[in-house]
Amino acid sequence: MKRRTFLAAATAAVAARGLASKGVAAGPQPNRLALSITWGMFRSMPAPEALSHLARLEYDAFEMFNWRDPALLNTIAAEMKKYNLECATLVANKGVKAPGCGLTNPIEREAFLEQIGLAIEAAGKVDCKRLVVLTGDEVPGLTRAAMMDSCVAGLKAAAPMLEKNGISADVEVLNTYVNHAGYFLYYVRDGAEMIDRVGSPNVKILFDIYHVQIMEGNLIQNIRTHMKRIGHFHIGDVPGRHQPGTGEIHYRNVFKAIHDLGFQGTAALEYSPTIPLLDDMAAERKLTTF
């Protein structure tokens, strides 16, 4: 090894050890997926404690906390500065049902755009660059084509706001067989059509592996086909929506495929673990390291 190369490597190693000694994650590494966790998995754990555990376990991010709670937003904004952690996503339009602010009903477009604006403002306080967007449920009396048109129009209207602020919206595909009967966007191919029609680099698919496995399977090929359209991943095994290894998905192969495709985004844990949370988080960090 040349002396210059050796010194650079040694310096990087010392820096990484210094960060680790402070409980700070050293950031995404080339041999692992960037890993996040949905805030609900922490349940009642105080925010400072949750962020400390994330850093200690070498996670890269957290996401989907209730930014509409000013106290929680301010606490996280202050505490996250102690660590090398990112806020990966915030939910823009009030959850799966998107009450009164969905994409499928054109009557709700103004309210949808209002929620996007509020979410962008909150995202700025935690330096978050991605929003989770839900289409909402199917609208009685409207055809799927009309609802698709409405979704596309709503996202096109939001795109300039997103682009101006350097933020992306990831539209989530959910299953209707087990968890979300009536939800509009349940096939990846429909998500791909939506994204292509919007035509903005700031509008992508949120590929939830749990939901896609229930509706379609064929995970690795789906990921390969649509990688350029995917902005974010969510993780959970089938059946039961527990941690990888409890069900039918060969997660090591799925993670390796995502990694080998050069995915630059984040994959987030979103499930109910059957073992203590911190033990599971440590296991998932190992599973996503190659």
| Residue 80 · residue 54 · CB < 8 Å | no
pLDDT by residue (tens digit) across 202-240?
A: 999 999 999 999 999 999 999 999 999 999 999 999 999
| Residue 224 · residue 263 · CB < 8 Å | no
Mean pLDDT for 36-42 is 98
pLDDT by residue (tens digit) across 65-104?
A: 999 999 999 999 999 999 999 999 999 999 999 999 999 9
Buried b (16+ CB within 10 A) or exposed e, 176-215: beeebeebbbbebebbbebbeebebebbbbbbbbbbbbbb
Q: What is the pTM for the complete model shown? A: 0.90
Mean pLDDT for 276-286 is 98
DSSP state, residue 275: S
Q: What is the pLDDT of residue 29?
A: 66
Can you give the residue ranges of every domain in the chain?
A: 33-287
Query: Which superfamily does CATH assign the domain made up of 33-287 to?
Result: Divalent-metal-dependent TIM barrel enzymes (3.20.20.150)
Q: DSSP characters for 111-149?
A: HHHHHHHHHHHHHHHTT--EEEE---BPPTT--HHHHHH
Active site residue ranges:
172, 270
